[in-house]
Structure 1
């Protein structure tokens, strides 16, 4: 059973770890490290609260299914007892499959009212698709840097190879992701150690400006999020027992804390090496008219590069004897992005399977259970292929949109999704759902924090909208 908690830990780490390595250090060009720490640690606390909320609604959704099943079985037993007691037993057996494995679609279907459940489905699918677009762009760029190939040619191979693995080997994804996440952690440790070894360890002119503290607000929330996408199918691996659920919750929380620490270390390393603003790097073999490269966090942010690009550039120019470190960094980023793509791709395929399952439950046209299962697999696989095709087309059409997609559009969708999760927690505590007992309820001291998280998310949405419309309101300041 301990393997389940290890898998939960590693899969959750892989769902969170990735975007921070790619984009967070680039947002320190104006604010510096200390203002970033304030916003990032706040976002990490919010994410830990979201883990507690999600565990609460996962338990409530399962308990509600059990409650509805018992009510139906009791009704059937009352109807059949008058005729034949054997029929009652058959009724019980025929309805045991009504309890469905939990997925994000089912959570919304059971705990959200009116059209909000459809909004939640749409937000989750769009959010996962945006993450996959970001990882497709960043992963192809990383492979291109390592292999010396233009990354536009790598995007099709990267997306479609992983898409086939996700769809046709979904049952093996947990073990595969856990293995690669462990390898990613080892490479990260090696990357940090050797990078610090060959550098001075800090910028001479590094500055901190709290006037730009909000620069990292949106991306900090994106970087710490991701666990909610994988928690439902990981929750299905444990029993409905308070002890197991507590260990499961602890595994997810420890994964969030681990990722927060690793992201802070990474930002500290990059910030200590790459200048915030323009720092000319001149080639060792200076030809007469070669342009001088301006290498900085600011330049990389403007050009839509990932954070490892300026880091590797400095190592290559200032420490040519340590070029192997640049290769280690590139391999680490490639593995990190690939694992993250597989994790989010699995989550996308999982929610699509949940939607298809929900539709097929109400379909009685298929006679046999086997034919219905085949139809469900084919339908969900086909829909997943359509979404991966859309991701592929967008990645090919707009390969430089890395930070824009990740910081502005994705963050708004994520904030809305988290607000709906808070609504699920609130709705699960009212009316017919209030008296449903669960093994590990949300601690009473954390109940008021639901409203604080909603306020936090509303502020993030407002700030994101402000960033989106500001270029049009003040075009001369851009």
Structure 2
């Protein structure tokens, strides 16, 4: 059974540790490292609270279904179920499609009112799609740099090969994701140690400017977030027991902590190797007598590059003895983005399956049930293919826009989801849902924090909209 918690940990890491860490160092070009650290740690604390909130909501979802089932079943069926152990009885119910596995569509239907569950569905799907677009762009760029093939030739292969794996081998790739996540964590750990050797004296003329402390705000939310989207289908494997649910919650939180530490170390590594700004003195190549393009965080941000690109160029140009580091970084980027794309693709496909499941009527006969299952699989696969096609088309049309996609769209949809999670928690604690017993309730000391998280995420929505509008009105000033 411990393998479930280990898998939960690795899948959480795979989901969180993605393109956010590739774009986050670019936001340090004006503010510097210490303002970033303050913003990032605030976002991290908010995500810890959201994970705890989500665990309670998932428990309430299961408990309410069991309660409603017991009220509907007649006495004879109920006594038959009671002859089994609690877990066996619940397994029988699940096989009969009575207790549905948790997903955000189901949670929205149970805990949100006035049509807000449609907004929840839209925010979840939008976030997953936009993040997968950024993964497709960053992953294809990493493969392009390594293989020396044009980016537009890499994108179709990257997207569609992984799409087929996600849709048709979703039950078999989680173990692969866990192994590759462990490997990419080791590679990233090796990468962040590089500054100790490459630039032990620290970067010259580093600037910490708190006037630009808002720059890393949106990407800090993206980089620490993402774990919520895989929590429902991971929770479906956990037994309804307080100790087991506690281990599940700890596994998710440990994955979040691991990613936070690795992201901070990664930003520190890039920041102390790659200059914040280009030097005003233009260097010239003595053999070709041509200007050498300066590699800096500012220039990479303007060109829509991932942060590993200027890092690798600086190492190759100024520290040729550490060329092996560039290779390690390239391998890490490729594995990291590939795994994250599959993880988010799995979450997207799982969400679509949950929506399709809710739209099919219940069947009584076994033959009808089989036909229904085949129809659900075909419908879910077809819809998933449509979304992967959308991801592919947008990636092809905007091959250098991964940073804009994350800042302008992914953060907005994630903050909307975070607000709705807070609302679901508040709704689950009132009226008929208040007295439902769950194995691991939310500590009373954390209940007031719901309103602080709600305020923080609401501000994130407003700021994200402001940045998006200003980007299109005054693109040169953002």
TM range (shorter): over 0.9
Comparing 128-137 with 144-153, greater Cα deviation is found at 144-153
Q: Find the counterpart in structure 1 of residue 327 from structure 2.
A: 327
When residues 75 and 115 of structure 1 are mapped into structure 2, their CA distance, relative to the original with a 3 A threshold, is farther
- Distance (whole Å) between structure 2 residues aligned to residue 234 and residue 475 of structure 1: 41
Cα pair distance change 1:75/1:281, threshold 3 Å: farther
Gaps of 5+ in 2: 79-91
Distance 1:77 1:366, change over 3 A: closer
Shift in Å, 1:112: 1.0
Q: Which residue of 2 aligns with 1:85?
A: none
Q: In the TM superposition, what is the alpha-carbon distance from 1:39 to its structure 2 partner?
A: 0.6
- The 2-side partners of 1:241 and 1:181 are apart by 28
Partner SS, residue 436 of structure 1:
coil
**Cα shift at 1:96:** 4.2
Shift of 1:291: 2.1
- Which residue of structure 2 lines up, in the alignment, with residue 101 of structure 1? 101
SS in 2 for 1:265: helix
1:13 equivalent in alignment to 2:17: no
Deviations 1:362-419 (A, max 9, x none): 5789952222111111111111011000100000011111111111221111111110
Residue in 2 that maps onto 1:46:
46
Cα 1:323–1:93 change in 2 (3 A) is: closer
Deviation at residue 49 of structure 1 after TM alignment: 0.3
Call closer, same or farther: CA 1:363–1:273 in 2, change over 3 Å: same
Contact persistence 2:198–2:273 (CA under 8 A): no
For 2:211, the equivalent position in structure 1 comes to: 211
SS in 1 for 2:205: coil
Structure 1 residues 94, 250: CA separation in 2 closer, same or farther (over 3 Å shift)? closer
Mapping of residues 47-446 of structure 1, within 5 Å: 47-74=47-74, 96-194=96-194, 196-279=196-279, 282=283, 286-362=286-362, 367-446=367-446
* Structure-1 residue corresponding to 2:450: 450
Aligned equivalents of 1:250, 1:316: Cα separation in 2: 41
Are 1:133 and 1:392, in contact at CA under 8 Å, matched by a contact in 2? yes
Counterpart position of 2:2: 2
In structure 2, distance between residues paired with 1:410 and 1:75:
49
Task: Please identify, of 13-22 and 266-275, the stretch whose mean Cα deviation from structure 2 is larger.
Answer: 13-22
- Structure 1 stretch 359-368 or stretch 21-30: which is displaced more? 359-368
- Secondary structure of the residue that 2:239 maps to in structure 1? coil
Q: Which moved more, 1:22-31 or 1:195-204?
A: 195-204
More moved, 313-322 vs 377-386 = 313-322
Give per-residue Cα distances to partners, 1:194-252, cap 9 Å, x unaligned: 45323345111101011111101111001000111110111111100000000100111
Q: 1:396 to 1:237 in 2, by over 3 A?
A: same
Q: Secondary structure at the match of 1:113?
A: coil
Aligned in 2, Cα 1:301/1:247: closer, same or farther, shift over 3 Å? same
Distance 1:473 1:303, change over 3 A: closer
Measured at CA, do residues 475 and 358 of structure 1 come closer, stay the same or move farther in structure 2, by a change above 3 Å?
closer
In 1, Cα distance between equivalents of 2:186 and 2:472: 45
Distance across 2 between alignment mates of 1:124 and 1:298 = 31
Q: Which deviates more from structure 2 when the two are superposed, residues 193-202 or residues 223-232?
A: 193-202
TM-score between both structures, scaled by the size of structure 2: 0.93
Call closer, same or farther: CA 1:476–1:377 in 2, change over 3 Å: closer
Q: Residue 458 and residue 98 in structure 1: after superposition, are their counterparts in 2 closer, same or farther (change >3 A)?
A: same
- Poorly superposed stretches of 4+, deviation over 3 Å: 74-78, 92-96, 279-283, 361-367, 471-478
Shift of 1:70: 0.7
Structure 1 residues 123-156: Cα deviation after superposition (integer angstroms, max 9, x where no partner) = 1001100000000000000000001111111000
Judging changes above 3 Å, is the alpha-carbon distance between structure 1 residues 269 and 312 closer, same or farther for their aligned structure 2 residues? Answer: same
Deviation at 1:425, TM superposition (A): 0.2
Equivalent pair of 1:5/1:251 in contact (CA under 8 Å): yes
Counterpart CA distance in 2 for 1:331 and 1:382 is 33
> 2:22: which partner in 1?
22
Corresponding residue SS for 2:360: helix
CA 1:258–1:439 in 2, change beyond 3 Å: closer, same or farther?
same
| Residue aligned with 1:237, SS | coil
What is the CA distance between 1:325 and its match in structure 2? 1.7
How far apart are the structure 2 equivalents of 1:396 and 1:56?
40
**Superposition deviation, residue 317 in structure 1:** 0.6
2:276, 2:187 → 1: CA distance? 26
Give the distance between the partners of 2:188 and 2:77, measured in 1 at CA: 59
1:340 shift after superposition:
0.5
Name the SS of the counterpart of 2:306 in structure 1.
coil
Answer yes or no: is the 8 Å Cα contact 1:19–1:222 preserved in 2: no
What secondary structure sits across from 2:335 in the alignment? helix
Does the CA-based 8 Å contact 2:282-2:291 persist in structure 1?
no
The separation in 2 between residues aligned to 1:94 and 1:266, in whole angstroms, is 43
Change (3 A) 1:176 1:260: same
Q: Structure 1 residues 442, 179: CA separation in 2 closer, same or farther (over 3 Å shift)?
A: same
